[in-house]
Amino acid sequence: MSRTAGAGEALLEVDSVAKSYGALDVLTAVHLSVPAGQALGIVGPNGAGKSTLLSVINGTERASAGTVRFAGRDVTAVGADARARAGMGRTFQIPRPFTHLTVFENALAGATAGAGLHGRAADDRALEALVLADMLDVANTPAGELPLLGRKRLELARALATDPQLLLLDEIAGGLTEAECDSLIATIRELHAQGITIIWIEHVVRALLAVVERLVCLASGVIVADGEPDAVMRSDEVQAVYLGGGL
């Protein structure tokens, strides 16, 4: 279901990326290289620039400096729509449903525009995404009538419908019950097993550690720790970020 990138080569290459809004520097010189097939988690306190980093990767925001390379191509100047068609799927932390369309039609937008499918193939792709996100039973519900959790799951369904090579998840586990969280973990593991590269921002560390094989900690717009998840969680940098300095 996913397109394969060149073996051994990094699928995503973020090089010296900075992003500022006026005098406010949100990201300063972020370097990140993600090999194809990796599941990468990002943690960090509120305001660390995590969502902004995802936005710069998928093109919702343009980088102020630095380059973003995807599948061997420099996409820094490429719009979010073209990056989505090239294989980047993204969910938003605050859901952005197409409120007047049904849940199925929301997914269909991803299948037609993002995956470039037509007719039956697009329908099937959208249905498959709804099954993966466990939303088939509400397929005909207008997205505007979904409760918050449904809207979060819709974000995932839509992104999956685009048939992504790289999936960018922005806090999709927040607010879920234990059982729902477990089912979400199972779903994301399944996607990872299918070979989809995943970058997942999450405050629910338990969910993150159940899936990712690499963890990055972002604080004040810079990467302060990067490596094996348990080691990163135990590192002095992460302890300092979460529990305050001087520990």
Partner 1 sequence: MEPLVPGQVRVDRLRRRMIIVQILGAGVIVALAMAPYVFEPAVTSQWIKLFYLITLATAWNLLAGFAGMVSVGQQAYIGLGAYGVFVFNDLGLDPYSSALVASVAIGVIAFALSFVAFRLRGGYFAIGTWVIAEAVRQIVIRFDSLGAGRGRGISDYTADPVLRNLFTYWLALGILTATLIGALFLLRSRMGVALQSIRDNEVAARALGVDVSRAKRIVFVLAAVMAALAGSVICLQQIGVQSPSQMFSVSFSAFMIFMVLIGGIGTLEGPILGAVIYYVMDLYFSQMGLWYLVVLGVLAIAVTLFLPQGIWGALRARFDITLFPVGHRVVAVPGPRSSSPAGARPSQPAPRTDPQTDTTAASARTEG
Interface residue list for partner 1 (CB under 8 A): 58-60, 79-82, 84-85, 90, 92, 96-102, 104-106, 108-110, 112-116, 118, 122-123, 127, 131, 134, 136-140, 146-147, 149-150, 158-159, 161-162, 177, 179-180, 183
Would you say 146 or 241 has its CB closer to partner 1? 146
- The Cα–Cα gap between 150 and 143 comes to 8
Rounded distance between C-alpha atoms, residue 92 and residue 113, angstroms: 18
The candidate with the shortest Cα–Cα distance to 46, out of 196, 171, 225, 176, is 171
Nearer to partner 1, 32 or 84 (CB): 84
Cβ-based nearer residue to partner 1, 101 or 210 = 101
Token pair of 112 as six digits: 């037609």
Answer whether 183's CB lies under 8 Å from 38's CB.
Answer: no
Min separation Cβ 3 and partner 1, Å: 14
Q: Is there a contact between 47 and 91 (Cβ–Cβ < 8 Å)?
A: no
Find the shortest distance in angstroms from Cβ 155 to partner 1.
Answer: 8
Cβ-Cβ contacts under 8 Å for 222 (sequence gap 6 or more): 27, 28, 29, 30
Name the minimum Å distance from CB 11 to partner 1: 18
Give 47 or 144: the residue with its C-beta nearer to partner 1. 144
* Tokens read off for 75: 């996409």
DSSP state of 72: T
Cα 153 to Cα 127, 134, 181, distances in angstroms: 14, 8, 11
Least distance CB 211 / partner 1 (angstroms): 20
Least spacing, CB of residue 206 vs partner 1, in Å? 19
Q: Cβ of residue 106: shortest distance to partner 1, in angstroms?
A: 8
**98 vs 242 by CB, closer to partner 1:** 98
State the Cα–Cα distance between residues 76 and 66, nearest whole angstrom. Answer: 8
Nearer to partner 1, 14 or 225 (CB): 14
